[in-house]
């Protein structure tokens, strides 16, 4: 039989023979020789010609000698070389009839077939573009290869163009976009491709991306060729920017089912990525290892429990963290769904702000149904709270529901395609967002969901909530931290050159000298943003030298047109990304004029397209420092006026809707300036601007509205901060307004939770205001005060002090209090921990409960016991013992005998698991004592006897097992399967050690039956592993293998306890002796 040789020349040289790589052809010249011959296989090639082309700088004699040498190497290293090489004294030829395959031949063949067979053109073209994995031998610098490389590249371009048009005709826009993007990567100066891509995005209903493509087109053409886009491209852009409904051709048929869903897109990389090889390599390493981790968990659940790491890029402002994330996004978005959210300094009190933005950055029209709770975050998602009146009335009963909804949504997406969640500027996110981040990271660790974040080192540490998440991830070894350092001198020069090249084309600046570079490097300290600003400054002042980045930006702003300078302060004052239409409305600016300004600012790299909300394009400043500089240039009085106008305009818009309708439910989508994006949290924005404007009345009342909304979303920290901000304005209000608003804000504080040291002050303030309300005859306000007192006492567990009349109000309010939320979460989390299922979620819920309980200084034994169970599950016995001991002590004080009993049983089980049965016995005695105090005909006394019998059975190898057998029968009678399987497993382990395999098999198999009925993953695995080991010990290998095969696919290693994992590993080692070694 003939052997076969596979040769790949696209992207990288590689040869394999009979599917085994041939690594011996590893020098550049050997590879070039083989490639030359194979690419010129149709005719014999004169030796002299080959020698000249491969060694062009050598003398004729030297070149021929080199060829002889390389040819001898090739004959030595190439398997069956004589089959492939036809050699004579004057010529060499690759045998065209030899059994070999070449990717270049396959590629050309596929293109030809596509042309010849139009009906199957798509299949052949897709095959062709897949085969073209990259340019022909990109590392080969020989001249002879250039024409061939270009020829093949042109073929690939034509194939991609053909395929894009074909897919467009077939209305498969999403796939077409992918190929058009591929086309742009090969030929970034092809304006027709940009136009095509804009049209495709438009046709698929993604106007935001369509506009961004224009921006990229404009930037690239300007930087590379010094020209602007053509009129046709500009027209298309303007059409996309201004038109809402009247572009019938651009209405996506497939998205009509969800016409109001927000489509958005991340920002566009507008500057080249200079340097950063180390950081980029680390990021790729991170992405690769994350993929390996998730692949491992999905392909071999029995033996792998890897989790993904979270990427965190840290560094100073302007250092290029975001730029690296943009590069990451561009690399990943072909094959993955990418979500992009960003923190804003002005929005640290906007609950879940970064998550709302991230969710809005992707199309929600998918096959994954949206959980109703998402409606609380995204009212526009067609999942309004009105579809769940129970939720609307009560608010979310616990934060876990909202978190679970987000996690389930992500998990659903991840099951369709890998998901990347990019969160920029973490230092500015709110507490609620931090909690959700930690929750999501924990629960999605085994799924193909990657989290990539950035943060400013110093400010990250100042954000307590975020820094706790970072610390926890570090502790759990789930953090891949990459410090982004300043550029070095060479990289600074490269970045300068890339910008200067464009300006040089435009004759704007003199060519860079070494001195220039040195000065910029010293001035900027290698900060890329600074370097870019210096480069831009040189276009105005060739010898510009500035002390600070801010000064450079300030100078640049001075060169803008009057209209642009008038526009910018409004955008900067908004404090986040902005929609031009919104600014136009706020400042009564004509839209056509605005478009001219926007384009100028885009060209000057002051602003960039950002997300799109409700089909309305939004923009963001190129960097937050630019926003800060614009804002700082405003004089104090003007700044106040700007904020005042924004506050009043937003307030006016919000009041156009019925007052009894919550903001989150109002449909702002018809408003020219407000999409649903702002509807939900408009009060927060009004409060922010009114506060900065010094409009105390509006600031205080809006703070109250915003704080109440935070309570509905269980965002307690943000509610408290807003309430305190509102209270700050209260002394300056008229008496009646002051009493009403202040009491309302105190009520928010009480619900959001305060620790005992602040309760007295809060009570005193409430009493004082109630007294004033009484004097002024304000009955409703007085009732609010009464309710506040009730809430305070309720949260402090001081039920006697809860006023009878306010009991009902307290019951209503406590739905949203952190104390109640903590109790509910602790209850759910400990419940999950007890049944040994979904321990990751149990831990996440319990940690969230712990965090909320900490707000009000609440101690809950369920949190300690639940976490204790989680740690015991993970084999962290010392920590588990401490926590369970604490839980036990608390339940003793509370006289909660069942909990007391349960925690004692956990403590006893820990001692048994760490092989110290003697230490378990005293706990068993205490269990029996406590069991006698529990009302109702329960199983506790029997459980105590069973655990003690197991302890004795374990500790005394020679003791008869009558007690144990009796205990097992009793557990069967009371139908306590979990405890039955636990005791049987423990006994079976002892039997195995005592070389009584038959008894061990019997007990382990009975345990397995019980564990399967109650779906306890760890006990199933334990019983299974021990039964197999016992069968092996009994010499019943066939039984062992049958047992192994029966359940191997059902065992999911990540769900198992440490004890079960150890048992499974031991069993796997033993079973390998009988099975295929691949197991």
Partner 1 sequence: MTLIVVETTVERPFTAEGLQDADRRVMPCLEARDAKWRYSLLSSDWQRMICTFEAPDAESVRESYRKGGVEFSKIWVAQIIAPEGGSPVWNEPFLKVFEGTYLGGFSDEQWQEANRLILPCYAQLNVEWIRSYMSFNRTRIVCELNAPDAEVIRESHRKFGIPFDRVWSAQLLKP
Where on the chain is the footprint of partner 1 (CB under 8 A)?
827-828, 830-832, 834-835, 837, 896, 898, 902, 934-939, 973-979, 1010, 1013-1015
What is the smallest separation between the CB atom of 891 and partner 1, expressed in angstroms? 12
Whole-angstrom distance, CA of residue 110 vs CA of residue 155: 11
* Of 1023, 1059, 1056, 1024, residue with least CA distance to 1042: 1024
* Residue closer to partner 1, measured from CB, 420 or 825: 825
Q: Which two tokens stand for residue 49?
A: 């010609």
134 CB contacts (<8 Å, ≥6 apart)? 10, 11, 12
* Residue closer to partner 1, measured from CB, 443 or 678: 443
CA 858-711-370 angle, 5° bins: 110
Whole-angstrom distance, CA of residue 306 vs CA of residue 448: 12
Residue with tokens 């602007």: 228
* Residue closer to partner 1, measured from CB, 782 or 940: 940
What is the smallest separation between the CB atom of 659 and partner 1, expressed in angstroms? 32
What is the smallest separation between the CB atom of 529 and partner 1, expressed in angstroms? 51
What is the smallest separation between the CB atom of 827 and partner 1, expressed in angstroms? 7
Beta strands in 653-802 (DSSP E): none
Phi then psi for residue 446, to 5 deg, are -100, 0
What is the smallest separation between the CB atom of 902 and partner 1, expressed in angstroms? 8
Query: Which string of DSSP letters, residue by residue, matches 332-367?
Result: HTTTSEEEEEE--GGGTTSTTHHHHHHHHTS---SS
* Residue closer to partner 1, measured from CB, 337 or 977: 977
Residue with tokens 């409703």: 780
Whole-angstrom distance, CA of residue 280 vs CA of residue 298: 27
* Residue closer to partner 1, measured from CB, 87 or 934: 934
* Residue closer to partner 1, measured from CB, 322 or 828: 828
DSSP state of 136: B
* Residue closer to partner 1, measured from CB, 299 or 895: 895
**23 CB neighbour count, 10 Å cutoff:** 10
What is the smallest separation between the CB atom of 898 and partner 1, expressed in angstroms? 4
What is the smallest separation between the CB atom of 282 and partner 1, expressed in angstroms? 41
CA-derived radius of gyration, the chain: 35
Distances (CA, A) of 196 to 132, 200, 201, 233, 270: 22, 6, 9, 10, 20
Beta strands in 315-459 (DSSP E): 337-342, 419-424, 449-455
What is the smallest separation between the CB atom of 262 and partner 1, expressed in angstroms? 34
* Residue closer to partner 1, measured from CB, 215 or 401: 401
What is the smallest separation between the CB atom of 880 and partner 1, expressed in angstroms? 19
* Residue closer to partner 1, measured from CB, 598 or 976: 976
User: What sections of 856-896 are H helices per DSSP?
Assistant: 861-873, 877-893
Residue 50 in contact with residue 94, Cβ under 8 Å?
no
CA 428-431-435 angle, 5° bins: 115
**Three-class SS state of 941:** helix
* Of 347, 221, 380, 247, residue with least CA distance to 710: 347
Phi then psi for residue 589, to 5 deg, are -100, 135
**Three-class SS state of 1052:** coil
Query: What is the total residue count of the chain?
Result: 1079
What is the smallest separation between the CB atom of 794 and partner 1, expressed in angstroms? 15
What is the smallest separation between the CB atom of 408 and partner 1, expressed in angstroms? 16
What is the smallest separation between the CB atom of 854 and partner 1, expressed in angstroms? 23
What is the smallest separation between the CB atom of 942 and partner 1, expressed in angstroms? 10
Bridge-based pairing of strands 20-21 and 14-17 is antiparallel
1026 CB contacts (<8 Å, ≥6 apart)? 985, 988, 989, 992, 1000, 1004, 1007, 1063, 1067
* Residue closer to partner 1, measured from CB, 836 or 997: 836
Query: Which string of DSSP letters, residue by residue, matches 232-251?
Result: HHHHHHHHHHH-SS--GGG-
What is the smallest separation between the CB atom of 1003 and partner 1, expressed in angstroms? 18
What is the smallest separation between the CB atom of 835 and partner 1, expressed in angstroms? 6
Residue 12 in contact with residue 134, Cβ under 8 Å?
yes
* Residue closer to partner 1, measured from CB, 669 or 905: 905
* Residue closer to partner 1, measured from CB, 186 or 1014: 1014
* Residue closer to partner 1, measured from CB, 273 or 831: 831
* Residue closer to partner 1, measured from CB, 49 or 942: 942
Q: Which two tokens stand for residue 189?
A: 């100066």
Phi then psi for residue 697, to 5 deg, are -65, -50
Whole-angstrom distance, CA of residue 1062 vs CA of residue 1025: 10
* Residue closer to partner 1, measured from CB, 368 or 934: 934
Whole-angstrom distance, CA of residue 38 vs CA of residue 28: 15
11 CB contacts (<8 Å, ≥6 apart)? 133, 134, 135, 138
> 121-131 and 145-169 are packed helices; what angle lies between their axes, rounded to 10 degrees?
140
Whole-angstrom distance, CA of residue 224 vs CA of residue 503: 10
Q: Element (H or E) spanning 986, and its range?
A: helix 977-993
* Residue closer to partner 1, measured from CB, 242 or 974: 974
**894 CB neighbour count, 10 Å cutoff:** 11
What is the smallest separation between the CB atom of 869 and partner 1, expressed in angstroms? 13
What is the smallest separation between the CB atom of 739 and partner 1, expressed in angstroms? 34
* Residue closer to partner 1, measured from CB, 234 or 837: 837
* Residue closer to partner 1, measured from CB, 666 or 902: 902
Burial class (CB in 10 A: 0-12, 13-18, 19+), 934: middle
What is the smallest separation between the CB atom of 1013 and partner 1, expressed in angstroms? 5
């Amino acid at each position: 039989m003939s052997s076969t040789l596979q040769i790949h020349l696209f992207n990288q040289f590689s040869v394999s023979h009979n599917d085994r790589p041939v690594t011996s052809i590893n020098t550049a010249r050997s590879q070039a020789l083989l490639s030359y011959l194979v690419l010129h296989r149709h005719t014999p090639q004169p030796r002299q010609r080959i020698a000249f082309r491969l060694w062009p700088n050598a003398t004729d004699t030297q070149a021929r000698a080199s060829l002889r040498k390389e040819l001898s190497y090739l004959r030595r290293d190439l398997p069956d070389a004589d089959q492939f090489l036809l050699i004579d004294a004057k010529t060499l030829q690759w045998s065209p009839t030899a059994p070999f395959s070449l990717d270049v031949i396959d590629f050309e063949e596929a293109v030809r077939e596509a042309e010849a067979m139009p009906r199957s053109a798509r299949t052949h073209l897709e095959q062709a573009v897949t085969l073209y994995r990259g340019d022909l031998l990109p590392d080969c610098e020989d001249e002879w290869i250039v024409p061939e490389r270009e020829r093949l590249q042109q073929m690939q371009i034509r194939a991609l163009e053909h395929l894009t048009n074909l897919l467009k005709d077939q209305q498969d826009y999403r796939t077409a976009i992918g190929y058009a993007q591929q086309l742009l990567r090969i030929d970034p100066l092809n304006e027709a491709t940009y136009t095509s891509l804009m049209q495709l995005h438009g046709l698929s209903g993604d106007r935001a991306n369509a506009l961004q493509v224009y921006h990229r087109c404009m930037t690239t053409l300007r930087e590379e060729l010094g020209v602007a886009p053509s009129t046709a491209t500009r027209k298309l852009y303007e059409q996309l920017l201004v038109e809402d409904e009247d572009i019938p051709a651009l209405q996506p048929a497939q998205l009509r089912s969800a016409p109001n869903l927000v489509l958005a897109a991340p920002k566009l990389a507008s500057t080249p990525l200079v340097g950063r090889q180390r950081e980029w390599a680390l990021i790729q390493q991170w992405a690769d290892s994350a993929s390996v981790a998730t692949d491992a968990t999905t392909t071999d659940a029995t033996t792998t429990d890897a989790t993904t790491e979270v990427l965190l890029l840290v560094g100073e402002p302007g250092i290029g963290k975001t730029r690296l994330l943009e590069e990451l996004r561009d690399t990943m978005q072909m094959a993955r769904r990418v979500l992009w959210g960003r923190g804003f300094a002005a929005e640290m009190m906007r609950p879940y702000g970064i998550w709302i933005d991230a969710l809005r950055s992707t199309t929600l029209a998918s096959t994954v149904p949206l959980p109703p709770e998402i409606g609380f975050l995204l009212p526009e998602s067609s999942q309004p709270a009105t579809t769940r009146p129970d939720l609307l009335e009560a608010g979310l009963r616990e934060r876990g529901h909202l978190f679970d909804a987000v996690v389930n949504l992500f998990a659903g997406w991840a099951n369709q395609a890998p998901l990347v969640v990019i969160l920029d500027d973490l230092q500015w996110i709110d507490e609620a967002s931090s909690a959700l981040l930690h929750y999501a990271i924990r629960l999605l660790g085994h799924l193909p969901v990657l989290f990539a974040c950035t943060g400013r080192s110093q400010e990250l540490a100042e954000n307590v909530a975020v820094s706790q998440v970072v610390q926890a991830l570090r502790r759990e070894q789930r953090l891949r931290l990459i410090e982004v350092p300043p550029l070095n001198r060479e990289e600074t020069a490269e970045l300068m050159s890339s910008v200067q090249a464009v300006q040089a084309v435009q004759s704007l600046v003199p060519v860079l000298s070494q001195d220039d570079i040195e000065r910029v490097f010293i001035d900027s300290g290698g900060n890329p943003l600074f370097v870019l600003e210096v480069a831009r400054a040189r276009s105005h002042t060739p010898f510009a030298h500035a002390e600070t980045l801010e000064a450079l930006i300030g100078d640049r702003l001075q060169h803008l047109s009057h209209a642009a300078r008038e526009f910018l302060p409004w955008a900067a004052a908004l404090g986040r990304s902005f929609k031009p239409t919104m600014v136009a409305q706020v400042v009564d600016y004509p839209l056509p004029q605005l478009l001219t300004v926007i384009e100028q600012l885009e060209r000057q790299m002051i602003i960039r397209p950002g997300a799109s909300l409700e089909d309305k394009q939004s923009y963001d400043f190129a960097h937050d420092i630019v926003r800060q500089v614009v804002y700082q240039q405003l004089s104090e009085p003007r700044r106040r006026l700007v904020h005042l106008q924004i506050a009043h305009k937003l307030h006016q818009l919000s009041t156009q809707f019925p007052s009894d309708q919550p903001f989150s439910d109002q449909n702002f989508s018809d408003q020219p300036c407000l999409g649903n994006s702002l509807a939900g949290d408009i009060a927060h924005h009004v409060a922010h601007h009114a506060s900065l404007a010094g409009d105390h009345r509006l600031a205080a009342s809006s703070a109250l509205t915003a704080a109440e909304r935070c309570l509905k979303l269980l965002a307690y920290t943000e509610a408290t901060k807003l309430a305190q901000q509102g209270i700050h304005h209260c002394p300056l209000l008229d008496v009646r307004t002051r009493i009403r608003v202040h009491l309302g804000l105190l009520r928010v504080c009480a619900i959001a939770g305060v620790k005992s040291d602040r309760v007295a002050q809060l009570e005193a303030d409430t009493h004082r205001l109630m007294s004033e309300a009484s004097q002024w005859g304000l009955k409703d306000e007085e009732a609010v005060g009464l309710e506040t007192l009730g809430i305070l006492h309720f949260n402090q567990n001081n039920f006697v002090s809860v006023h009878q009349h306010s009991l009902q109000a307290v019951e209503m309010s406590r739905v949203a209090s952190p104390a109640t939320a903590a109790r509910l979460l602790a209850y759910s989390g400990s419940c999950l921990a007890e049944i040994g299922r979904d321990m990751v979620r149990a831990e996440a819920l319990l940690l969230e409960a712990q965090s909320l309980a900490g707000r009000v200084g609440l101690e809950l034994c369920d949190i300690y016991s639940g976490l204790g169970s989680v740690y015991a599950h993970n084999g962290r016995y010392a920590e588990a013992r401490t926590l369970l001991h604490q839980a036990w002590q608390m339940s003793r004080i509370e006289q909660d005998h069942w909990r007391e009993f349960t925690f004692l049983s956990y403590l006893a089980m820990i001692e048994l698991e760490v092989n110290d049965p003697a230490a378990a016995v005293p706990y068993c005695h205490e269990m029996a004592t406590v069991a006698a105090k529990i009302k109702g005909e329960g199983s506790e006394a029997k459980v105590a006897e069973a655990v003690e019998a197991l302890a004795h059975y374990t500790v005394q190898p020679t003791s008869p097992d009558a007690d144990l057998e009796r205990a097992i029968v009793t557990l069967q009678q009371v139908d306590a399967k979990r405890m039955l399987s636990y005791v049987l497993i423990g006994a079976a382990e002892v039997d195995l050690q005592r070389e009584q395999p038959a008894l061990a098999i019997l007990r382990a198999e009975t345990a397995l039956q019980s564990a399967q009925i109650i779906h306890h993953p760890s006990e199933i695995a334990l019983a299974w592993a021990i039964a197999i080991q016992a069968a092996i010990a009994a010499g019943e290998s066939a039984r062992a293998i049958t047992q192994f095969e029966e359940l191997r696919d059902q065992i999911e290693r990540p769900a198992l306890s440490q004890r079960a994992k150890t048992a499974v590993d031991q069993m796997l080692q033993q079973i390998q002796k009988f099975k295929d070694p691949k197991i």
